[in-house]
Amino acid sequence: MASPVIKVENLSKAYQIGQIGTGTISRDLERFWVTKIMGKEDPFLRIGETNDRSTKGGSDIVWSLKDINFEINQGDAVGIIGKNGAGKSTLLKLLSRVTSPTTGEIKVKGRIASLLEVGTGFHPELSGRENIYLNGAILGMRKKEITRKLAEIIDFSGVERYVDTPVKRYSSGMYVRLAFAVAAHLESEILIVDEVLAVGDAEFQKKCLGKMGDISKGEGRTVLFVSHNMAAVKSLCTKGIVLENGLVGFNGTVDDSIDYYLMNADNYAQKKWQINQAPSADFIRLLEAKVLNEKGEVVLNHPITDDIKIEFTYEILKEDQLFLHGFNLFNGHNIHILSSHDKDSSTLKIPLSKGIHKKTVTVPGNFLAEGSYNCSFAIMRYNPFHVEFHEMEVVGFNVIDEISESTVRGNYSGRFPGIVRPLLNWK
């Protein structure tokens, strides 16, 4: 059985929010008096609020992490995922000893190297070679260790020609290449990597990801990878930890973690309505909505290449009604992606009989960007135009990108901007 190399026990970190400055001396004195002289609990740490950015808390102290517990085994590649402000960066900072925990502890076996940033401490005036030494030493390498690996580092970076030029003359891509090359050759048992690392051009990214994969799979080292980018997490990690408001929400395999994370976007792939709550007009009542994959199964998470079918089931209450269907699609940031209605619907010409009917709309694969989506459903009439009902947040689904030849992303693993990600024809 694999043994744990990192053990996190009851780890908490509190931050003081708002202005730090005025009154700090008096507050420090008060704090000192209360805790050290009178032996009471620190009054400025007493309220255990969770870290929820959207609600205003009552105190100046916010718990960025609260009583976190987990273990990481040797050779695991663990993706740490979570929304902005869930405590990912704080955990990273604590693990890399940039700041120290408020309570609790982290036990570590072996050397930790953390890359919260590429090229930390690079000096613009120094040459590439000198910066390799400097950066390597900052990351904890001994000089002879760097000398031994120098050729390998320069080769990996691919900037051999400029290695004696000051790095201020480098292009930003070359700079990053050199910086990552140093980091990739660290001989630590545990490597902590922030997502900012996924930079540079596609070829180099592939190299970086490959290198990181080698580190965890081939060399049996432990990698912690923090990212928003599910595609990169999925391709790199075997396990996942989901952080939510400073707590561990889920800890398991990488696929389960991603599912859990995406699920928590409050999405439902299927929704049924009670008769008295159903969205309805005088002649029609919505009964059920489902998100289906290509095989017709109700699924929440869809690979980016697959078609997504949304099926609406409704009941016609009155005969001889002409109408049409429409739906709107919103992404996780509540941006209105598209609006669509079946303008050529048969229901505009031939009325449906009383009873239960279905309507399906297909969102094509390789069209939406990665993320979570929800859709609305509407019943409308023409002549005159009238919206009978428009129900928001009917069902939702998640689109998951993949690093693969068949996706728009291809082999690029970095941030991929844009609201949609259609596969376009380039000639």
Partner 1 sequence: MKGNIQSEDWNLVIKGHTSLFDLKFNDLWRYRDLLFMFVKRDFVSFYKQTVLGPLWFFIQPIFTTLVFTFVFGNLAKISTDGLPQQLFYLSGITAWNYFSDCLSKTSTVFRDNAAIFGKVYFPRLIMPLSIVVSNLVRFGVQMCLMLIMMFYFWTQNAAFHVTYSIIFFPFLVLLMALLGLGMGLIITAMTTKYRDLTFLVTFGVQLLMYGTTVIYPLSAAPEKYKRIIELNPMTGIIEAFRYAFLGKGEFTAWSIGYSVVVTVIVLFLGIIIFNKTEKNFVDTI
Q: Which residues bind partner 1 (CB under 8 A)?
A: 3, 7, 15-16, 20, 24-25, 28, 93-110, 112, 114, 116-117, 120-121, 123, 125-126, 130, 133-134, 137-143, 166
Which CB sits closer to partner 1, 138 or 392? Answer: 138
Residues forming a β-bridge with 61 = 16
Do the beta carbons of residue 190 and residue 222 sit within 8 Å? yes
Question: Closer to partner 1 at the Cβ: 122 or 373?
Answer: 122
Closest approach, Cβ 204 to partner 1, in A, equals 21
Q: DSSP code of 83?
A: -
DSSP 298: B
Contact at 8 Å (CB) between 231 and 370? yes
Helices (H) and strands (E) in the chain, counts: 8, 18
Q: Is the C-alpha dihedral spanning 221, 224, 228, 234 positive or negative?
A: positive
| Nearest approach, Cβ of residue 162 and partner 1 (Å) | 17
Residue that has been written with the tokens 């005969």 in this structure: 319
Q: Which is nearer to partner 1, 117 or 214 (CB)?
A: 117
Considering the complex, what minimum distance in angstroms separates the CB of residue 130 from partner 1? 7
Q: 121 — phi, psi (to 5°)?
A: 85, 5
Of 133 and 162, the one with the shorter C-beta distance to partner 1 is 133
CA 415 – CA 324 distance, rounded (Å): 39
**Using alpha carbons only, how large is the chain's radius of gyration in Å?**
27
Between 20 and 392, name the residue whose CB sits nearer to partner 1: 20
Decide whether 194 or 370 has the Cβ nearer to partner 1: 194
- Per the rule left: phi > 0, alpha: psi between -120 and 50, beta: everything else, 98 is alpha
Instruction: Give the nearer residue to partner 1 in terms of CB position, either 117 or 152.
Output: 117
Separation of alpha carbons 29 and 32, rounded Å: 5
Q: How far is the CB of 105 from partner 1 (least distance, A)?
A: 4
Contact assessment for residue 233 and residue 226, using Cβ atoms and an 8 Å cutoff: no
In the complex, least distance from residue 123 CB atom to partner 1, rounded to whole angstroms: 5
**Which lies closer to partner 1 via its Cβ, residue 64 or residue 398?**
64
Cis peptide before 166 (omega within 30 of 0): no
Shortest Cβ distance from residue 97 to partner 1 (Å)? 4
Q: Is 20 exposed, middle or buried (0-12, 13-18, 19+ CB in 10 A)?
A: exposed
**Rounded least distance, CB 47 to partner 1, Å:** 18
Closest separation in Å from C-beta 195 to partner 1 = 14
